[in-house]
Amino acid sequence: MMNKTISTDVCIVGGGPAGMILGLLLASQGVEVTVLEKNANFDRQYRGEIMHPRFVQMMEQIGLRTFLEQYPHLNLEEGGLYHKDKVLVPIHFSDLVPEFPYAFWMPQPILLNALYDKGKMYPSFHLQFHSSVKELVKEEGRIAGVKVETKEGQMEIRAKVTVGADGRFSLIRKLGGFEMEYEHYNNDVAWFTTPLPEGMPKQLQLVLTDSHFCLVLPKYPDSIQGGITFKKGEWKKIQERGVAHFRKELAEASPAFREFAYSLQNFKPFTILQAKTMFVREWAKDGCLLIGDAAHCASPAGGIGVSLSTATAIVAADVIYEALQASDVSASRLGQVQRIREKDIRNVHQLQLKQESLQMSNNPFVKRIRPYLITLLAKTSIFKKKQKDVFVMSDPLPIHPRFKLNTSY
């Protein structure tokens, strides 16, 4: 059994988009970074793969847009909210952000491997797969690293700053005793993948049926990622009724689902994800910071989670770099990340909760008038402003220009 201790400036637990981008930006400035990923590689399904125009804006700001666009991806220029086959609210990204009029669809394994390719260009960037955190290292009242189980044995990683970027079920959040301010969990999403029907445009579709809210998301290169939102606990009842009953409902939900629905023999093609919205009361402790879903998890229904997490990671890079330069990694100093980001996060969370309340209501009257109500609301200026708040970043992130990466090599 190996018992090894290493030291680093920053230890990032979690090799998702937030953790990888944070590590990449810090390493670009010579900060020693170790990113820990518990899995053997980046292969994963049904993790955020759609990045709204705000993500494209951020990648342009830090110099990664053209680099990432060299990798396999789709640019989605439009979409809409549908009721059955009728468009209630069209979405044209060119109307929201003319300079970058598209959402960015890239399978997460491709995105993460692209970020890793970039990270390898910096000698101070280190990534360890097969690395599962078991406990925190504490020293004089501060978090000073982690104890990890690897393929070779146990390892202790001492760090000036430990970052929890380990998702909605964050172990760092649990081990560090971080408290939740709020947690809303009313719905689940059943995800599945099916071939793109011939002639169907590659666009983002949000579909309102009489019973459920569905997502039709083009998936690179020629598939669809489908999602159906249910009330918490309803999926079990659907399974009890049997696949034949669900096959009919799925086929009626969207033309994009029909071929898949008719081929269904059981429920194995579905992956269930809890549609949780969470917000940690304080994201920082002395020597430790939570970012991304570990700090502020958004519902997956709007596909906004990766963009929110990425913005927090970019701001965190600026704050952590300055904290290291000042030799001050206190909770107060690291907490600047939350003070910068929480207004945007809370705003999106509130919009999601209101949207869920309308879309998932079982009230017969609300269900009957819902399509007409949404159509009327879509014509108001406040609706258009809220739509822009979700899809677009109104101002550049408040970070130093040093984090504009050189993509010429």
pLDDT band for 409, please (50, 70, 90 cuts): very low
Q: Cα–chain-centroid distance for residue 80?
A: 21
Compute CA distances 107 → 19, 46, 52, 53, whole Å.
17, 9, 14, 16
Which of 74-83, 217-226, 378-387 shows the lowest mean pLDDT across its residues? 378-387
pLDDT above 90 coverage of the chain, percent: 61
Q: What is the pLDDT of residue 407?
A: 65
The domain limits of the chain are 2-76+105-182+276-362
Over residues 7-23, the pLDDT tens digits come to 999 999 999 999 999 99
Taking the CB of residue 54, how many other CB atoms lie within 10 A of it? 26
Residues written for the chain: 409
pLDDT above 70 coverage of the chain, percent: 96
pLDDT band for 249, please (50, 70, 90 cuts): confident
**105 closest CA partner among 222, 197, 209, 186:** 222
**How crowded is the C-beta side of 54, counted as CA atoms within 13 Å?**
24
Over residues 184-220, the pLDDT tens digits come to 998 899 999 999 888 888 888 888 887 778 888 888 8
- What is 2-76+105-182+276-362's CATH superfamily? FAD/NAD(P)-binding domain (3.50.50.60)
Sign of the dihedral through C-alpha 109, 191, 13, 149: negative
Q: Cα–chain-centroid distance for residue 173?
A: 17
Q: What is the pLDDT of residue 46?
A: 59
pLDDT band for 96, please (50, 70, 90 cuts): confident
Q: Which two tokens stand for residue 168?
A: 């909605």
**169 closest CA partner among 32, 290, 41:** 290
Over residues 301-345, the pLDDT tens digits come to 667 889 999 999 999 999 999 999 999 999 999 999 999 999 999
> Strands 103-105, 132-139: parallel, antiparallel or unpaired by DSSP?
unpaired
Q: What is the pLDDT of residue 237?
A: 92
What's the pTM? Answer: 0.93
